[in-house]
Amino acid sequence: MRLTLRTLLAYLDDTLDPAQAKVIGQKLAESESARDLVDRIRKVTRRRGLSTPQNAAEQGSPSDPNTVAAYLSDTLSAEQTAELEEACLASDVHLAEVAASHQILTLVLSEQVLVPPTAVRRMYGLVKGRESIPNRKTGQTIPVGGMPTDPGHALDDSDAPYLLGMSAYSQSQPLPLQILKWSAVAALLFGFAVAAIMAWPSGRAVVVTTTTPDTNLAAATKPTTEPTTPPTTAPTKPEEKLPVEPETKLVPPPEPPVGLPADPAPPADPMAGRIAVAKLEAVDEHVVVARPDRGEWSRVAGGGDLQSSDRLVCLPGFRSKLKFDGGLTAELWGNLPELLEFKVLETAITLHIAPKGYDAELTLHVGRIYFNTKQPGGAKIRVRFLKEVWDITLPDAKTEVALELTVEPTPGLPAESPQTVVVLATIVGSAKLKFRQKEMPAIPAKQIVLWTSKGGKVDGPRAPDAKLKEPNAAYFDRFAVYPNEAAAKPTRAALDKFSKSLQPGQPVAAKLTETQQVDKSMFTDETVFGSRFAVYGFASIGEFSRVVDAVNDPERPFCRMTALKALRAALAAQPDLEKEVRKSVQEKLRMDKAAAEMWVERLRGLTPAERVDPTTIDSLVAGLSAPEIAERELNFFLLSHIVDPASLGNKDLMSFDAGAKEDRREGTARLWKRRADDLKALLKNMGK
C-alpha cells in the first residue's frame, strides 16, 4: 500500500484494516516528511480563524466541495487526485478542509444514526409495494458495517421529527424501569414541597436596616398608660447562618497534548500593495535582473526602481545588487557549473513592503544572497521561504552574511517532496537570527546555521563540518577563483556578449533564443558555453517548452544534457510548475499522457534500490534504442550516474550520442549491454 494523503488520513482516523495500518505505520516511521505532514494536519485542523478555499464555485477545481467529496469517496480521476493533493500540500486551507471532512465522515459513518419515523414514512411514500404502508412500524437503522447494538429496541412512532441521531425521548421501556423513573419524579416533587413550606414567611415582620440594634428597639416600642410587668427576657436562640455556597472556580482550558506544543503565532502575511521598495545598482556590465513585465520577462535598467510583489530573477552566471532605503544592500548571486561546482544556478526572490522596524522583507525561492549595510546601527531583514519566516539582524555596518537556499530532487515516488537546504553563514562580524519567534544565539564569523525541510529544525550556530562537506567560508567567497579557467574564460566571454546585447526593457526569452540557436558551422567554445547558459536561462524564467526542445535537439548534444540538468533543478525549485513541464513534454516530444508522466518521473533520478536493480538496468539499456531522441538521452543520463564516468574503462561508454544515426548509436549501445551484464553479475555475487 502506498503512503498517500488519503491513506495517511485513513490511518490517522483509524479506518484501515489492522494489516494495512501496520504497513502505513512502518512507512510513516521511515519517512520524516510524512511525520512532518502529520504534525501539520493536527495543527491546521485545530487552527482557529482559518479561511475557506477561494474560487469554491469553480467546478472541478481543488476548492470545489464536490471535488473534495469525490476525493474522499475515491472516485476522482488520477489527474484530479494529484492536483488536489498538490493543493493540500501547498495550502493549509485546502489541507484543513480535506482532513476535517475526513474526520467528520469517519465519526458520522462509524456511529449509529437514529432516523425520525415521520421522515421514514415520507420516504416510504415515494415508493410502491409493502414499503409504502403508512402505519408500518419502523425500527433502528443498521449502522455502517455492522448490526444494531440492541436489535430488540425500536423507536416509538410518536412525533420525533428532529431526532437526527439523538436519544429518543419517547422510547418504550420495561415496567420496572418505568416504576423506578416515576418514583424518582415523585420523590423530587415531595422534596420541593417540603422546602417551599419551610421557606414560607411567618407573621413577624423582619426589618433590615443599617442602624444599630438599640436604636431599632427604641423606635419600634410605643409607651402605654397601663403599668406593665417587665417581660421576662427569654434566652435568645443563636442566629442561624445560611449555608454558604462553595466558590465557583474557573476551570482552566485543557493543556495541549504532550508532544504537540503550541507554536507561537507566526508573523502576518506580507502587506499587499505595489510600491517601489529598492533600486538596482549597476555594479558592472554583467548585471541582469529579469522580472515579469506585461506578461514577459525583461531586463531592468541599472538604477531602476524595483516594485513590491515582483518576482526578480538573477540569471545564472550574473550578479545583481539591490539597494534598499536605510543603506541595506542585497547582492543576488548567480552561477554556472562551468564556473563553480555549486548547486546554485539562478537566484529568485519576491520583494515585499517592509513592516515597521525592518529595512527589507522578501521571499527567497532559490539561490544565494549577500546582505550588508552601511548604517552604524545595522539593519533588520525578514526573509520568507516555504512556510518559514526568518528575522536576520545585522548589528552594525561591519557585519556581512550570506543566505543560500538550494533544492535537491528526491527520486522515487512523486509524493516525496524535494529536499530544501537553507544555510545562513556569517562572513564578517556577528549576526543574529530569530527562528519561529525565538531568538537564537549570535552567529559569529565563519559559523553557520543549517535548516533542512526533512527535519524542519535549525542546527547551529556552529562551525561547518568538513566530514559532511558542509559549506565553509571559502564556499561563500564572493570573489571565488574559478578552478577550471579553461572553461570559465569562454563562459565569461559568452555572458559578457549576452549582457551587452540585451537592452533594458528588451524581452529576455528572445535574446536567449538567439544565443542558444547557433549554426553548427559556427560552434566555438564561446558559442557552446553560450548555448548552455541559454538553456539554464530558459529554465530559470519558466520557459520549459524551450528547454524540452533542447532535450530533443539532434545537433547539440551539449544542449541536451544541459537541458536535463536544468529541468531537474527547475522541477525541484518550482514544484508548482510540474504540470506545465509535463504538458510541454507531452506536446514537444509527441508522447501520450502516461509516457510523459513516466518520463518526468524518471527525470527525478534513481533511488538507491533502482541503481542496483537488474530489471531497471535492463530497462535503461533497452531505452538507448528508443524512437525519440529525448528518451534515449534520458536513459543515457541515468546510466551515466550508475557507473563512474571518469573511469578509463567507461570512457567509450560516455561517447554515446542520442542524436546520432542508428548505425553509430548501436555500437555504443552494445557496449552498454555488456557493461550492464557485468554489473548484474557483480550484484548477484554481492548478494550471495
Which stretches of 575-661 are DSSP H helices? 578-588, 593-603, 608-611, 614-622, 629-639
Residue 111 pLDDT: 61
β 305-307/296-299 pair status: unpaired
Place 286 in a pLDDT band, splitting at 50, 70 and 90: low
Task: Tell me which residue has cell 571565488.
Answer: 480
pLDDT tens readout for residues 610-649? 888 888 888 998 989 888 888 889 999 988 888 877 777 7
Q: Is the pLDDT of residue 545 over 70?
A: yes
Question: What is the amino acid identity at position 288?
Answer: V
For 276-462, give the CATH class: mainly beta
Backbone torsions φ then ψ of 406, nearest 5 degrees: -125, 155
Task: Tell me which residue has cell 530559470.
Answer: 540
Give the pLDDT mean for 104-115.
70
Highest mean pLDDT among 144-153, 230-239, 319-328: 319-328
Q: Is the pLDDT of residue 157 over 60?
A: no
Q: Is the pLDDT of residue 108 over 90?
A: no
Place 426 in a pLDDT band, splitting at 50, 70 and 90: very high
Q: Is the pLDDT of residue 448 over 90?
A: yes
Q: Is the pLDDT of residue 537 over 80?
A: yes
pLDDT tens readout for residues 43-80? 888 776 677 776 655 666 777 888 888 888 878 787 78
Give the other-Cβ count within 10 Å of 576's Cβ.
9
User: CA neighbours within 13 Å on the CB side: how many for 621?
Assistant: 24
DSSP conformation letters of 283-341: -STT--EEEEETTEEEEPPTT-EEETT-EEEE-TT-EEEEEETTSEEEEEE---TTT--
pLDDT tens readout for residues 469-501? 888 888 888 787 888 888 899 999 999 999 888
Of the chain, the percentage scoring pLDDT greater than 90 comes to 19
Of the chain, the percentage scoring pLDDT greater than 70 comes to 75
Enumerate residues 6+ apart whose C-beta is below 8 A from 61.
Answer: 55, 67
Residue 203 pLDDT: 41
- For the chain, which residues make up each domain, given as ranges? 5-110, 276-462, 490-687
Dist CA 445 CA 498 (whole Å)? 37
Asked if residues 588 and 599 have their Cβ atoms less than 8 Å apart, the reply is no
Q: Does the N-terminal peptide bond of residue 461 adopt cis geometry, omega within 30 degrees of 0?
A: yes
Residue 523 pLDDT: 79
CA-closest candidate to residue 272, choices 352, 161, 157, 340: 352
Residue 58 pLDDT: 66
Q: Is the pLDDT of residue 367 over 90?
A: yes
Q: Is the pLDDT of residue 112 over 90?
A: no
Asked if residues 273 and 308 have their Cβ atoms less than 8 Å apart, the reply is yes
Q: Is the pLDDT of residue 423 over 90?
A: yes
Residue 505 pLDDT: 79
- What cell was used for 163? 431526532
Dist CA 653 CA 648 (whole Å)? 10
